[in-house]
Structure 1
């Protein structure tokens, strides 16, 4: 291939572009065979920085005189929608710069005919996902096919680094580096807080070059201020009030993306927009991961072509798909994290030089403070750090079978290869031998069952001896473990998407629900398909997807507390703080405002019992563990029964008996001594570990999810994994998958590291103890969280109406100029 730097620059100039310095730096590095990571703003030109570098590198090596060159570049992407968009971007310069090159796509959506063509001859560059790359490693001829790959690009590395899919990539890259020691690997990202650490995770024992794009891209972050934020607010309180302002913002722009944090919220807002503007039918669309693939692709194409006025979406459109017509981005509710905000903001103005704008739409009053905090944190560059999981053995077990299928392995060689990755750098010989024994004979408890003898050693090489085992393994390669879903179809034909099996199981014939922007009536379940028809009623339930609530990040929580301190000192410098001032002043009048140096403790007596409130601002995951731990420790010496409620800002402990809060005031309850043991004792840790083990069992290949067209139900999978859990507990207590389940409960479900840091921070703060006469603006949302689990919508409205009337009267009686609240407040300093 006769390609020069001059030709690349000429291609840029022909389009009115001028290569940036960081692009030249990447081109030079790749020509020299160096690996690295490129960090630059969204839409700055990262794709062509590494793609042109890969083409230039190939130009320096022999190429076939005729026909398409063999596979040389792998482009790994975390999302299928992003994969298709990447293929189009990579193909664009080939006619002018590398006419013999071909670009292909290999994901779970690739049609069978295209797969067959690729099996005969791979394209020169292949865009694929971590799962499909692992499947390539299972091919007997995989080494020959992949040995010629000289460049691997891992796009949106920030989306992979912190989960098991990223570990899967680390292991695949280690395998490819063994086959080709000169392999160059590059990670791309726009939103990483720990750049050196992220690069180290990607490259393992390899050295890498960090390239940072210096693009002065204009980013505007503003907030849609509600007309009446109110003095009391709770989750969703302002939702309907923001309907018309959002519509007006959409009207002012050609094309808008409206992001929500959950699929349920996306469904609701789609209906809100069309209720107010029925003339927008066909111009407003819905996009989330549960909708049918054809629907999602139609929406994506409509965005690209500028045919849609607005799309309401979840994280399914977060990543770097290029929707050039998008002029505005609106975020419903708090983004909860700085990285997520920047990622979503970058969907507008997605090209060099064009400004990006994101408008935050609060759904309750405290989200006004979060909006100001998000903007300040983004301007200060406080982006969340991401860490790699620490040697997950379920992923390792899966990888062992994968490599055994793909030509086999020798134990010592593969052990060294695995340890070259960041995730398994501390893997001990004992842990390695356990994993090897587990795939060879099922460990100590499954030796009698041949289906768990997945690999066998012949002449020192481990291979998969049974074709049936190999086929089942290939069918469920990957680490994405979602709850079982059920296809939703019309009685008359036509797919709509997939909903979690648990939601469908709660429906009776005739029940109505919102899905895919339509009100549907449930008819029946047949052959694992939920059949529906258009509903004639006007309202219905909204599906609730598990695990959809995102916790407030540490960076966001810290910045919110800093802004609350400014408000406590009378400084309302941001427009959002000015709008939230009535609520913040009411909080000061009825209680106090929490600050970075104080721990606010509120106590309240109601007809329900005795309430204790704390506000660490550490996110709901940490607060779940902290609330359970505090309840357990407070009841250890004085028996009591607690009801718990948490949100991103704080937690509530409610009991019928008085609470001895002395350990809170003297801060002894925040001791780190026996933290792990007490956390596990305070929760139903066995049930939590069993739930985590279900996912681990599926990744490790203990549980088979079924063949295409005949999937096993969630009930069957739960029963199978529960049986393994009990067998291992009784007969194989040293099984390391059980240990992993306990570790993942602590690290992922409870965020034990952040919990420990939060407790240390609380123990070091000055305690402000307030006895409330009426619920405060901060405590009321925690009450509402608990009420929602107990009361119908109508009864909840009645209860809130009574509470609000009393609280409003108390706020009216307080003197706004009085800095001391009428509640009884005491201040204590932390214990020595």
Structure 2
């Protein structure tokens, strides 16, 4: 490709910095010149963001332009600010008369109003802020000449409700500015075709040019091993803290990634307990205040920190080029996520990124090694796109009406150009529209829910006030509250995440604050409990969990049975697997292994689906209910990403009846309807769809008020209109997102044909980590980790026998 496609000033700027324009940057410019939409997949540090902006800079240099030329969409407000800083450097150094501004939730109302009248040449924004911008009548004049929209880190949110909202915004933008070119950027996409379809104005992959980046230097990965033996259970990697501090001392700057906020706080605390040299170490995660995160980000940018402990809050694109090393605490749960994090080290394409992986336990060592291999092979995780959320569509329709009257047929045609909604028919669209207009059959008598009216064949707002409340409440991110654990007399024991509480039904028993508690009910934001009169069955797990990808789970299963590859494993992990093969059986990739063994006067089922914690937690809920109905008297269960353990009073002779597919029609429906999962899902879709507003002009509802409002409406609809649009949307969320029902359904469909039951006279080696978890959770007082370790030593004697 002719390198002189760029104006001379851009070539000169690259030359002055000792850089060369990359092939993929040329190809992106060529796509822009030809008027084509483009998806760029290139390694971290390959200059993706600059590749997205270079055609805009070239166009503005060559042709005077008055108004908004390009929109840049970022999944993070902080990333938009970071790009503004890095984009202004080349603009200022080239002396270009190009204006760049940011529009996010942190932008003042006065600046937003001014931007609608006199926009910059380049606007940096987020999906939520773009949808809000489109809700103003003057947005047509502001956006009609937009030439390009650049979507960064598209993999992070395209297949989510934020992606649904952005896809609808793109459809609206194409209607306003038909010649606008779409560009998306990503470092971690395994199946580009689906993203090309998502990006296309007609949901067709052929409409979008795929540009592959130049090959980057291979990363330098290593796995940190404990100085003694690999732990049986736990995820903290606490054993490695002294070794990690030595790594921090040897590097100028290190990023320490943790999978949960709890683990980030714990790791930060442990590092400082051992930090005798007072090395400056910071902490960054989403629960910290904006000011605290901003302070830490500033300290990193200025090189004042030797290490920063962080979560997925820093997975994306913040450009700190002087990070020497990335340390991953615990298994990464996916090769794409790991690759993204590794790329934060040496944020340059020609220099290898360096990363150290710290597995928390023996299972996690296998997963870490699987991710290690996948990254070195260049294999990433893939995911199937799901249909767009009806609650998001309802929000979009209200925003569309806020911008002005619209025709139903034309609006439906526009919505169908967005890939997540390409299969929505006229009847479905009309149902969503009628919901926005009236609230539905059970709510139409209330004026507050009648937001649209039809006049002269066009739909319009019934009152201007609904535009104001829409703009205060738009977006798809709903903050999930913590629930207070209380006795009926009002005594508080602390807080649990709503994710955990929502899966409980009245009568369920769990452990919290060292006490065995029985659930009475959930009322507003209180989880009401009483002292349990029987054994607690469900341990309390705090902290959000990243899902184990199907791809990585498959690699772990293959590793278990590939004894020729065990030479790469530490001695204690290799002996552990050898013991399992001799004492019981190693689960084959096409098998569902179920072990049955007695211990301490109870009977245990150890199940190894390898479908991830969320699916296993749901499976545990369903199986214990079925076992209860069948008279086995289950006492409890627990799950990790790889396996599930259930203990009961009675022995299960034949486990096959437990795994029949009808469990998803019977026990699943009963569990969802009697737990608070459906009510919690309804609250989220009610907020996103605009049925319940979190904010009104001059005031904001508390979390308790929102919960009370949505719970009241839920009870009304459940009684009088159970097939209401939002009830359908809530069921879809509860089935797919909260319980991982897709993976669970696939497992149950195959279970009868792949199930292998092994009856043992005592615990198997593979089950020891699960029993160790019980000891840590204190669910059963007799089983401690020490006794399990003694048991495992006797298993070691068996493994050493000829």
**Global fold match (TM > 0.5):** yes
Contact 2:232 2:772 in 1 (8 A): no
Quick one: distance in 1 between partners of 2:494 and 2:179? 60
Q: Deviations over 1:378-422 (max 9, x none)?
A: 233332223434131110111111011112311111110001111
Residue of structure 2 in register with 1:533 after alignment: none
Contact 1:590 1:772 in 2 (8 A): no
Q: Deviations over 1:645-680 (max 9, x none)?
A: 1110111122112213252xxxx6545467445532
Is residue 781 of structure 1 aligned with residue 781 of structure 2? no
Is residue 549 of structure 1 aligned with residue 545 of structure 2? yes
Query: In the alignment, which of 14, 18, 40 is matched to residue 42 of structure 2?
Result: 40
CA change 1:402–1:71 in 2 (3 A) is: same
Query: In the alignment, which of 545, 548, 565 is matched to residue 561 of structure 2?
Result: 565
Residue of structure 2 in register with 1:806 after alignment: 791
The worse-fitting range, judged by mean Cα deviation, of 608-617 and 18-27 is 608-617
Quick one: distance in 2 between partners of 1:637 and 1:177? 58
Q: Deviations over 1:294-330 (max 9, x none)?
A: 2211211221221110000011111011001101000
Is residue 31 of structure 1 aligned with residue 15 of structure 2? no
Quick one: distance in 2 between partners of 1:364 and 1:199? 39
Q: Deviations over 1:72-103 (max 9, x none)?
A: 11000001111111111222222355722111
Gaps of 5+ in 1: 485-499, 514-543, 819-832
Residue of structure 2 in register with 1:437 after alignment: 434
Shift of residue 593, structure 1, vs aligned partner: 2.4
Contact 1:229 1:364 in 2 (8 A): no
Is residue 746 of structure 1 aligned with residue 735 of structure 2? yes
Shift of residue 806, structure 1, vs aligned partner: 3.3
Shift of residue 817, structure 1, vs aligned partner: 4.8
Query: In the alignment, which of 51, 55, 58 is matched to residue 56 of structure 1?
Result: 58
Shift of residue 344, structure 1, vs aligned partner: 0.4
Query: In the alignment, which of 640, 650, 675 is matched to residue 647 of structure 1?
Result: 640
Gaps of 5+ in 2: 497-539
Shift of residue 785, structure 1, vs aligned partner: 3.9
CA change 1:600–1:732 in 2 (3 A) is: closer
Shift of residue 185, structure 1, vs aligned partner: 0.6
Residue of structure 2 in register with 1:221 after alignment: 221
Pairwise CA RMSD? 2.9
Matches within 5 A, 1:394-543: 394-484=391-481, 500=482, 502=484
| SS class of match (1:170) | helix
Quick one: distance in 1 between partners of 2:17 and 2:298? 23
Matches within 5 A, 1:661-700: 661-663=654-656, 670-672=659-661, 675-681=664-670, 683-684=672-673, 687-700=676-689
Quick one: distance in 1 between partners of 2:410 and 2:342? 45
Shift of residue 784, structure 1, vs aligned partner: 4.1
Quick one: distance in 1 between partners of 2:485 and 2:13? 53
| SS class of match (1:36) | strand
Matches within 5 A, 1:576-655: 576-578=569-571, 580-607=573-600, 609-633=602-626, 640-641=633-634, 643-655=636-648
CA change 1:377–1:303 in 2 (3 A) is: same
Quick one: distance in 1 between partners of 2:760 and 2:542? 36
Residue of structure 1 in register with 2:652 after alignment: 659
CA change 1:732–1:214 in 2 (3 A) is: same
| SS class of match (1:301) | helix
Residue of structure 1 in register with 2:272 after alignment: 274
Shift of residue 548, structure 1, vs aligned partner: 1.1
Residue of structure 2 in register with 1:530 after alignment: none
Shift of residue 190, structure 1, vs aligned partner: 0.7
CA change 1:291–1:359 in 2 (3 A) is: same
Shift of residue 449, structure 1, vs aligned partner: 1.2
| SS class of match (2:421) | coil
Residue of structure 2 in register with 1:487 after alignment: none
CA change 1:802–1:708 in 2 (3 A) is: farther
Quick one: distance in 2 between partners of 1:132 and 1:172? 10
Q: Deviations over 1:684-742 (max 9, x none)?
A: 56632111111000101111213477432322222211111111122222212111211
Quick one: distance in 1 between partners of 2:493 and 2:796? 48
Contact 1:640 1:657 in 2 (8 A): yes
The worse-fitting range, judged by mean Cα deviation, of 163-172 and 405-414 is 405-414
Contact 1:256 1:310 in 2 (8 A): yes
The worse-fitting range, judged by mean Cα deviation, of 699-708 and 156-165 is 699-708
Shift of residue 286, structure 1, vs aligned partner: 0.5
Matches within 5 A, 1:7-18: 7-18=9-20
| SS class of match (1:153) | strand
| SS class of match (2:651) | coil
Quick one: distance in 2 between partners of 1:452 and 1:59? 50
CA change 1:683–1:415 in 2 (3 A) is: closer
Residue of structure 1 in register with 2:211 after alignment: 211
Residue of structure 2 in register with 1:536 after alignment: none
Quick one: distance in 2 between partners of 1:812 and 1:338? 33
Residue of structure 1 in register with 2:525 after alignment: none
Contact 1:166 1:388 in 2 (8 A): no
Contact 2:256 2:310 in 1 (8 A): yes
Contact 2:284 2:309 in 1 (8 A): yes
Residue of structure 2 in register with 1:816 after alignment: 800
Normalising by structure 1, what TM-score?
Answer: 0.85
Quick one: distance in 1 between partners of 2:12 and 2:753? 61
Residue of structure 1 in register with 2:192 after alignment: 195
Shift of residue 807, structure 1, vs aligned partner: 3.3
Query: In the alignment, which of 167, 170, 179 is matched to residue 182 of structure 1?
Result: 179
Matches within 5 A, 1:328-407: 328-407=325-404
Residue of structure 2 in register with 1:258 after alignment: 256
Shift of residue 438, structure 1, vs aligned partner: 1.2
Residue of structure 2 in register with 1:493 after alignment: none
Quick one: distance in 1 between partners of 2:739 and 2:766? 23
CA change 1:510–1:398 in 2 (3 A) is: closer
Quick one: distance in 2 between partners of 1:181 and 1:817? 75
How many corresponding residue pairs?
Answer: 752
Contact 1:318 1:344 in 2 (8 A): yes
Normalising by structure 2, what TM-score?
Answer: 0.88
